[in-house]
């Protein structure tokens, strides 16, 4: 099923007002791209993206003001189609009277925004990209640890939520527990958030559902975050071999994004919250150019050479 956003949802979320066409506020928007109908105003309609929101700014209005009323009516008839979800006019510019009957005849609502055109374009595009993006639900606990988006995954009952609760008590922030909705922003970026029904909640076996915001305050939660690291918690059965020095790099592909992944063995007595903190800090240090593995290798090489020189 294709994702869609209604005009009413757009109005409710952004600083945009519905001026004409109240009865058309249920129109659905399927494209996250917004069109500035520059060429079509001159009469060129080839490849015109009529199915997108049409944004009219000061430049377009300046061009239209030089036309006669009849010419403006013809231009709007060319610009508006029965698939156009809405027309937005920026800077609270007065709506041309010729636009109203044309839009009304095709069930197109007319919206007005206060901001300059480039900002309106960015705000609408960012909102629609987030709402219309393909989504993937993944089981796990998603937290912000030292500013990084860290997703804890592993088999059911391994202790992900308990680790998450301890990290919250240490000052880190919860984004989602149990189920995380991931969506792609661009070729390098995935964002994650909680389904609406699970926002601010964490489930602890034996205690039940905990409202993190009520217990720990608004600073303990965050609505969404970029996913930067996946930590796979694996029950240590004594037989699985792990990379002791951390040279093996693992990734998990989600949509088109390769997300770094590490495995951490779980067994009695390990302070996993502290290990997750260290993993996040170490990953960030590596991104900034410091790699403990490289430093260790260099020191080991120097030590070997020094011992050879003494022989």
Which domains occur in the chain, in start order? 5-132 (3.40.1390.20), 135-295 (3.40.50.300)
Bridge partners for 144 per DSSP = 149, 173
**Which of 82, 186, 237, 244 does the annotation list as catalytic?**
244
Q: Has 135 been annotated as catalytic?
A: no
Q: What's residue 118's pLDDT?
A: 95
Residue 30: closest CA among 55, 11, 57, 6: 6
What is the pLDDT confidence band of residue 236, given thresholds at 50, 70 and 90? confident
Residue 76's contacts (CB-CB under 8 Å, 6 or more residues apart) are: 96, 98, 99, 102, 103
Is 101 or 157 the better-scoring residue by pLDDT?
101
What is the pLDDT confidence band of residue 247, given thresholds at 50, 70 and 90? low
Chain segment 55-95, per-residue pLDDT in tens: 999 999 999 999 999 999 999 999 999 999 999 999 999 99
Structure-token match 């036309």, residue found: 67
160 labelled as ligand-binding? Answer: yes
161 labelled as ligand-binding? Answer: yes
Calpha distance 7→85 (Å, rounded): 8
171 labelled as ligand-binding? Answer: no
Q: What's residue 187's pLDDT?
A: 83
Per the prediction, the chain carries an average pLDDT of: 91
Least confident of 70-74, 160-164, 265-269: 265-269
Q: What's residue 286's pLDDT?
A: 84
Least confident of 10-24, 108-122, 225-239, 297-311: 297-311
Calpha distance 37→229 (Å, rounded): 41
Bridge partners for 292 per DSSP = none
Coil, helix or strand for 174?
strand
Q: What's residue 243's pLDDT?
A: 64
Q: What's residue 310's pLDDT?
A: 66
Calpha distance 284→223 (Å, rounded): 22
Distances (CA, A) of 57 to 104, 123, 238: 20, 14, 66
**Which of 177, 178, 222, 225 does the annotation list as catalytic?**
178
Which token pair is 236? 């240590």
Distances (CA, A) of 117 to 121, 203, 282, 310: 6, 45, 42, 73
Q: Has 50 been annotated as catalytic?
A: no
Least confident of 22-36, 97-111, 265-279: 265-279
Note whether 22 and 57 are within 8 A (CB).
no
Q: What's residue 124's pLDDT?
A: 97
Q: What's residue 232's pLDDT?
A: 95
DSSP string, 247-264: ---EEEEETTEEEEEEEE
What is the pLDDT confidence band of residue 287, given thresholds at 50, 70 and 90? confident
What is the pLDDT confidence band of residue 16, given thresholds at 50, 70 and 90? very high
Coil, helix or strand for 224?
strand
How many degrees, rounded to 5, is the angle at CA 265 between CA 264 and CA 269?
Answer: 115
- The CA R_g of the chain, rounded to the nearest whole Å, is 27
Q: What is the DSSP letter of 133?
A: S
Chain segment 193-212, per-residue pLDDT in tens: 999 999 999 999 889 999 99
Q: What's residue 244's pLDDT?
A: 61
Least confident of 219-228, 268-277, 286-295: 286-295
Note whether 222 and 246 are within 8 A (CB).
no
Bridge partners for 181 per DSSP = 137, 193
A 10 A CB-CB count for 17 gives: 13
Q: Has 139 been annotated as catalytic?
A: yes
pTM: 0.76
Least confident of 51-55, 131-135, 139-143, 168-172: 131-135
E strand intervals along the chain: 5-6, 16-20, 28-29, 34-35, 53-56, 87-89, 110-113, 135-139, 141-145, 148-154, 173-176, 179-186, 189-193, 201-204, 208-211, 224-226, 229-235, 250-254, 257-266
Phi then psi for 250, rounded to 5 degrees? -115, 150
Q: Has 186 been annotated as catalytic?
A: no
* pLDDT-above-90 percentage for the chain: 76
95 labelled as ligand-binding? Answer: no
309 labelled as ligand-binding? Answer: no
b/e map of 276-288 (b: 16 or more CB within 10 Å)? bbebbebbbebee
What is the pLDDT confidence band of residue 269, given thresholds at 50, 70 and 90? confident
Mean per-residue pLDDT, 257-273: 90
Q: Half-sphere exposure (CA, 13 Å, Cβ side) for 186?
A: 2
């Amino acid at each position: 099923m294709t994702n869609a956003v209604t005009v009413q949802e757009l109005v409710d979320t952004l600083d945009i007002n519905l001026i004409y066409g109240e009865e058309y506020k249920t129109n659905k928007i399927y494209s996250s791209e917004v069109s500035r109908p520059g060429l079509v105003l001159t009469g060129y309609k080839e490849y015109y993206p009529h199915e997108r929101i049409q944004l009219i700014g000061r430049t377009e209005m300046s061009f239209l003001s030089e036309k006669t009323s009849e010419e403006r009516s013809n231009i709007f008839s060319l610009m508006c189609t029965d698939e156009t979800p809405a027309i937005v006019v920026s800077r609270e510019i007065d709506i041309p009277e010729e636009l109203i009957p044309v839009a009304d005849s095709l069930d197109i609502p007319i919206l007005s925004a206060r901001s300059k055109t480039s900002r309106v374009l960015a705000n609408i595009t960012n909102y629609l990209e987030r709402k219309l993006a393909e989504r993937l639900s993944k089981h796990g606990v998603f937290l912000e640890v030292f500013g990084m988006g860290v997703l804890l995954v592993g088999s059911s009952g391994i202790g992900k939520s308990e680790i998450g609760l301890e990290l919250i008590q240490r000052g880190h922030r919860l984004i989602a527990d149990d189920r995380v909705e991931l969506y792609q922003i661009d070729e390098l970026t995935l964002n994650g958030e909680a389904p609406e029904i699970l926002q601010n909640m964490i489930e602890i076996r034996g205690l039940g559902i905990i409202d993190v915001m009520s217990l720990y305050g608004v600073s303990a939660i965050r609505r969404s975050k970029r996913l930067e690291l996946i930590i796979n918690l694996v029950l240590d059965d004594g037989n699985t071999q792990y990379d002791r020095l951390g040279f093996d790099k693992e990734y998990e592909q989600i949509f088109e994004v390769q997300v770094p992944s590490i495995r951490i063995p779980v067994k009695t007595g390990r302070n996993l919250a502290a290990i997750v903190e260290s993993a996040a800090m170490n990953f960030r240090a590596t991104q900034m150019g410091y790699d403990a593995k490289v430093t260790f290798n260099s020191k080991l090489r120097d030590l070997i050479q020094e011992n050879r020189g003494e022989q």
